[in-house]
Structure 1
């Protein structure tokens, strides 16, 4: 008897919604995805995309009719909730709120967000400002969770450690709609070793002790071009980088990620956006990891 997808980590890719939101579901199905991550507007432009009621309905119908179990939204890259600049703060708040509202409409598991950066300012003050922005955005939306992503630690980025993620959570008053998305490339860059099953166990134990694994709602499983502690965010195709096949296999087969969207963002093996070949690699490595764990 084979395991149902929901009893395993739900492997997925970041896919494009070009041509309309329903196209993202179509592309996910074509690539054999069990989950997908999408942008709901250009990630590098402030102008929001106003999706029609018809497009939202078509997306939900397509998703319900597909084998895809869950969808995650990735928020705007330009957002910086920790900025002291009033104009940038307002733009960031508007963008985050918009993403959460679209998440409400399409039934997303959550909106993944890079928290922001302190740049040349005080990190503690920037973390406090983030908490205020997140509370406002959550108050202006209904149900969709906000999933704060850990960072590689370059350029004063916030959320580079589990302790900083916990401070960000506390800044919202421990809001029940705040969760986390951990990125394996960012973890390695920030000094968290995820290259073996035992190392991953230790990292997850640290995360559980710091902010609670019940807050972990999504994983980005990306390999890394740069080594442990590099503080550089440079993704590599699955199994070809510093994490390697054994580390990626451990991540993709982790039982505590069962039923959770586990997203590969790319680049794919062809150096471009992920394709069906990358999903096939992910499924092979998941099975390799399950066998190594004695689960298959």
Structure 2
């Protein structure tokens, strides 16, 4: 399990490797462009070469995940937003191919603000996703499950499966599961037993072979709240036992597992957060062996 964190790529993606090393990350996640702007950020040959050199020299960081920016809404009814989302997603996938990323994580999109017909929104999103895959380099695309607020898509395993099928079901399509989002959307992951049941269900509906990355975050809000509010591992409603279970689930072995924050020191993710995550994982592994 490659436990890591979301870090900044400011100054070029090679700097993200350095920031990951400073925090003790075995994997890192970055935005490939400003999360507040549509303007694309295309890496030049020198930046790509510097990133690969940094990864080859790193004694800690082993994997990169790119997170598409939150502005994207592949399910929007507005053709302009869908067009912008398509172009931004293609840039992210091409960046992932350049940098050798495990995948690009995408929030699939949102239906009408009042909830809207989910099947129509899934069809719109799937069309954009299919087109982005067809027109980009061969980097995997990982659809992230959502907390279920408003009309967001991906709140259930059935919706994720429908998005994958609608987008062609190709090998490049995968999933990134977020512990906080699972819990907020009604999947109980507070114990090893309940998590095992949730992943059994995921395997039946989507398939564990589709898992490409994970986000490990505790939840400030209760089970089924449909509110995406992260807190530090073990400090929220999922609790320490749930975080231990998530970080030691056998079917997650070998995957990048990204902690997104806020961080125990209140200044973003730091080395202390990575040490704590590894401590929780060690407890889970010890329990499995006892």
Q: Is this a same-fold pair by TM over 0.5?
A: yes
Equivalent of 2:10 in 10, 18, 23: 18
Q: Cα RMSD over matched residues?
A: 0.9
Q: Report the Cα offset of residue 272 of structure 1.
A: 3.0
- Residue 69 (structure 1) aligned with residue 56 (structure 2): no
Structure 2 partner of 1:274: 269
Structure 1 partner of 2:38: 46
State TM-score, norm by structure 2: 0.97
Count of equivalent residues: 287
Structure 2 partner of 1:265: 260
**Unaligned stretches of 5+ in structure 1?**
1-8
Post-superposition CA distance 1:201-225 (Å, at most 9, x none) = 0000000000100001101000000
State TM-score, norm by structure 1: 0.95
CA contact (8 A) 1:266 1:272 kept: no
Post-superposition CA distance 1:239-279 (Å, at most 9, x none) = 11111111101111112111100010000012231010100
**Unaligned stretches of 5+ in structure 2?**
none
- Residue 230 (structure 1) aligned with residue 225 (structure 2): yes
CA contact (8 A) 1:150 1:182 kept: yes
For residues 223 and 272 of structure 1, the distance between their equivalents in structure 2, rounded to whole angstroms, comes to 17
Q: Report the Cα offset of residue 20 of structure 1.
A: 1.4
CA contact (8 A) 1:132 1:172 kept: yes
Q: Report the Cα offset of residue 289 of structure 1.
A: 0.9
Q: 47-56 vs 98-107, which deviates more?
A: 47-56
Q: Report the Cα offset of residue 140 of structure 1.
A: 1.0
- Residue 104 (structure 1) aligned with residue 97 (structure 2): yes
For residues 95 and 227 of structure 1, the distance between their equivalents in structure 2, rounded to whole angstroms, comes to 34
CA contact (8 A) 2:66 2:105 kept: yes
Task: Name the SS for the 1:156 alignment partner.
Answer: coil
For residues 134 and 248 of structure 2, the distance between their equivalents in structure 1, rounded to whole angstroms, comes to 36
Structure 1 segments of 4+ aligned residues over 3 angstroms from their partners: none
CA contact (8 A) 2:147 2:226 kept: yes
